[in-house]
Copies of this chain bind each other. A is one copy, B any other.
Amino acid sequence: MATKITIHSPATVANMVCGFDVLGFAVHQPYDIMQLEFIDEPGIVIVNTDAYNLPTDPTQNVAGAALLALMEAYEQPVGFKMTIQKQIKPGSGVGSSAASSAGAVFAANVLLDHPFSKEDLVRFAMNGEKLASGVKHADNIAPCIYGGVTLIRSVFPLDIVKLTVPDLFVSIVHPQIEVRTADARSILKQQIQLKDAIKQWGNIAGLVAGLQQGDYDLIGRSLEDVLIEPTRSILIPAFEQVKQVSKQLGALGGGISGSGPSIFMLSTNEYTAKAVELAMGQIYAAIGLSYHTYVTTINTDGIQTIDLS
């Protein structure tokens, strides 16, 4: 019986342009490193080994809140020491809080010998998201736990579908500005035009069909958001330029990662993805804004166990 586990919990990209609140995918880079081990004293001890100075009170820490939900469902008294080395910058828009929340419950489920389903783990982890943003959303949590591209068909009741996905390279740029998820939510119009919604569900249907059929052209044509992006992109400097230049360089398409400020672009090959990454950086360098870029691929496994002892 293992008493200690080390995992890599990956970054995730929510929304995927036309799939606001329902689609998300996991990537290979970056990821948080988390360690969970049993301790004698019931409860949770949190140790942060990174520079982000996140709360160590379990009720105020997203990983703690998720783990508390799991422990409540487990019903027997149990104690964990959780060591978090966060490498996904909080607030960057690539699922930093989801990686912590999902990682905590994934690791505990392994140590407890799998009493819970993946769906249960998503439910527990959503408590972390609620603490982070006020909303129990699963579009980062689900791909983190299931891997690949996931569809949250419904949150109540929870219905998660893992989609087939062809090889895709992902270029991400994180301009170093702050976009609070709550702000990005509050600027959205709550009333929309039916004709715009029809375009949006035509596109999400096209994107799902394109992913399932491995049709890159269809994926590219479907990566269009007529509803959310026009409003939210205002919060992200140079957004239109990044998108336009990336497509000129051969990217299939892309958009805001989650509620931003990171922007992602999908490409069919590494060469294009690296050219896109370079151009993204040059755009922010030119306007004098700090940024961070990387190229990665879609992570079809989600959270990975690195060591179990």
Contact = CB atoms under 8 A, between A and B. Distances in A.
A69 B153 CA distance: 41
A190 B193 CA distance: 6
Interface residues of A, number: 42
Nearest to A215: B161
A206 interface: yes
Interface stretch (A20-28, A74-82, A98-106, A173-181): A20-28
A179 B39 CA distance: 69
Nearest to A189: B194
A20 B163 contact: no
A202 B163 contact: no
A164 interface: yes
B205 A204 contact: yes
A205 B202 contact: no
A222 interface: yes
A307 interface: no
A201 B202 CA distance: 9
A159 B23 CA distance: 22
Given A190-B193, A194-B191, A218-B161, A22 B202 contact: yes
Contacts of A269: none
A248 interface: no
A143 to B, nearest CB: 14
Contacts of A189: 194
A197 interface: yes
A191 B153 CA distance: 23
A221 interface: yes
Contacts of A192: 191-194, 197
A157 B103 CA distance: 44
A201 B154 contact: no
A212 B153 CA distance: 15
A174 B238 CA distance: 55
A110 B193 CA distance: 41
Interface of A: 18-23, 151-154, 159, 161, 163-164, 188-195, 197-210, 212-213, 218, 221-222, 227
13 contacts: A20-B198, A22-B205, A151-B202, A153-B218, A154-B203, A159-B221, A161-B209, A190-B194, A191-B194, A205-B208, A208-B208, A209-B212, A212-B213
The 5 A-B pairs at the shortest CB distance, nearest first, are namely: A153-B206, A212-B212, A197-B197, A201-B201, A208-B208
